[in-house]
Amino acid sequence: MRLLIDEMWPRFVAQALRERGHDVVSVAERHDLRTRPDAVILAAAVAEGRVVVTENAKDFRPMAQAELRAGRPYPACIFTDDQTWLRTRSGARAGGRLVTALDALLTSGEDVEGELWLSPID
C-alpha cells in the first residue's frame, strides 16, 4: 500500500515510514501539492494509486462519496481525528504514534478499501 500523508502531519511522518521501507510521501514535501485544495490532493492520490492519510474527513468523505456516485471506485482514505491524535506544536508526540500505527498497518499487508479510522497502538 502506498500512502500520501496530508499536510496537517509533519514531514517526518513520511520520512520515518520511508526509513522503515514503505512507499510514503507527504503533501508538505511536494511543491505541486502543498497548499492546494483537497480535491487536488485526492485526485493526485488516486492517479498515483496512493491512500490519503488525513484528519480532514469533513472534506474528503464527501469527495470520495461523489466519486462512488459517479461510478468510479471509492478512493481509499485513512482518517485520524484531532482528539485521538493530539498534536503538540512540533507534532512530535502524535506524529511518532502515527508512525507506529501506520507502520503496523503497512507491515500487516492489509489493504484499505474505502475508509479506515486509524487507532493508536499504545
**Domain 2-117 classified CATH 3.40.50?**
yes
Instruction: Provide the pLDDT for residue 113.
Output: 86
Query: Cα separation of 56 and 6, whole Å?
Result: 9
Coil, strand or helix at 76:
coil
Instruction: Taking residues 78-83, report their average pLDDT.
Output: 87
Yes or no: say if 113 and 78 are a contact pair by the CB < 8 Å rule.
Answer: no
pTM: 0.90
Cell 492520490 belongs to residue: 45
User: Quick one: pLDDT band at residue 12, thresholds 50, 70, 90?
Assistant: very high
What residue has cell string 474505502? Answer: 114
Mean pLDDT of the chain: 90
- pLDDT in the model for residue 121: 84
Sequence ranges of the domains in the chain: 2-117
